Chains A and B, each alone.
Chain A
Amino acid sequence: MATASITVSETPLVLYTLRRADDALILGHRLSEWCGHAPMLEEDMALANIALDLLGQARELYSYAARVENKGHDEDKFAYLRDVRQYRNLLLLEQPNGDFARTMVRQVFYSVFADLYWRAMMKSDDPTLAAIAAKSEKESAYHVRHSSEWIVRLGDGTEESHRRAQTAIDDLWAFTGEMFAVDDGERGLIDAGIAIDAATLHDQWLKTVSDVVREATLTLPKNDWMQQGGRSGSHSEYLGHLLSELQSLQRTFPGAAW
């Protein structure tokens, strides 16, 4: 790689904002990988649309992180010039697309969470985060509906689609716990009224996901062991490969613009 990574001053608010920005960017990028490959034209458009919403959210969040950090960074530097260990997204969202069922299971797990999260964040005492939340919750409501309908179609579809959807649920389940984890830095922001306690969203998330999965004639795993690490930069092997593609242009031609 030709260009060095930036060094980020991760104050609690910068880190908090980057975590949410990275979630949106990485999932948006994953969904964009379907462009031209989705099972049908309507779905190609839907996945690209959802990716676009997420990319828009990521841009607002990165721009805000840059203003808070005040070190001359901007949205592009955060996206293109941080290495894998500097990324703070959930492990769930960097998992490869796999088959269509896996993409949709990942999507419903995250969208149901994001919808609850952004709705709660509308009450944040931080006016910028509250404004981004008000924008994002409207979009996430569509993402929930779209992915939920697909889970039902796949689960309650053919034997093959049922099997694939159930396998995806079983494989991705261990990555869902990280969404509700809160560390000390976030605790301070929660006490200050800036952040919300994600752990409080778990019951409602589980209820909505269970309803969808039951409707789809699928089942949630019983095991409750959960994998964590993305929030502190310990990623699965997949993120580095994703970033090498995402960042190759800016790393090779620093500052390239069009």
Chain B
Amino acid sequence: MVAVLSDSDLRQRAWDAAATVVDPEIPVLTIADLGVLRDVQVHDGRIEVAITPTYSGCPAMNMIILEIELALERAGFARPTVRTILSPAWTTDWMSEDGRNKLRKYGIAPPQASSSRRALFGDQQVACPQCGSDNTEVLSEFGSTSCKALWRCKSCREPFDYFKCH
């Protein structure tokens, strides 16, 4: 007997498969942790996944699309499609608490909701992910990827990445 799955079961299975895909540049975070995975729909048994880019020019998007397609094919979904949506614009508010903890353990300071992007010359405080000290300084507003800034801890002297609030 062949079990026939309802659309909502299919959708859940497809979501779970897509949610295993990690950000190639921050491999401790899945696209679900990041809030990049927005929606999964079933159309006549075919899966359509919607994702949103973190930054307009994020070069990881092509890789993520390919990984989602592969993850779904491995889970038994033939010829899935991945759609990129821009609205509503991605925000670090969508990052899960679990994701923030994983980032910290990985050595990247998670985004801080309190920092204002509009402050022209304002100071922000970011705690060092290594030693927890607040005695830190920004080295560069732009880091190794679009979504990160480069900081240094003045207590333990370790440089670290800060996932920018966006």
Contacts and interface: CB of A to CB of B under 8 A. Distances in A.
Interface in B66-116: 86-90
Contacts of A146: 141-142
A130 B53 CA distance: 16
Contacts of B58: 52, 56
Contact of B121 (A59, A131, A148): A148
A52 B120 contact: no
Interface in A162-208: 208
Interface residues of B, number: 26
A103 interface: no
A152 B121 contact: yes
A238 interface: no
B56 A53 contact: yes
A15 interface: no
Interface residues of A, number: 37
Given A127-B87, A144-B120, A45 B144 contact: yes
B contact face: mostly helix, strand, loop, or mixed: loop
Given A46-B141, A142-B117, A134 B88 contact: yes
B57 A52 contact: yes
Contacts of A139: 55-56
Nearest to B120: A148
A50 interface: yes
Nearest to B59: A52
Interface in A143-164: 144-146, 148-149, 152
A115 B142 CA distance: 18
Contacts of A130: 87
A208 B144 CA distance: 29
A45 B143 contact: yes
A56 B53 contact: yes
A57 interface: yes
Given A45-B144, A148-B120, A149-B121, A142 B56 contact: no
A208 B121 CA distance: 12
A146 B120 CA distance: 9
A52 B146 contact: yes
Contacts of B142: 42, 45-46, 48-50, 142, 146
B86 A60 contact: yes
A43 interface: yes
Please provide the 8 A-B residue pairs with the shortest distance between their CB atoms, ordered closest to farther: A56-B56, A56-B57, A131-B87, A42-B140, A46-B142, A52-B57, A49-B142, A131-B86
7 contacts: A48-B142, A49-B142, A56-B56, A60-B86, A134-B89, A135-B90, A148-B120
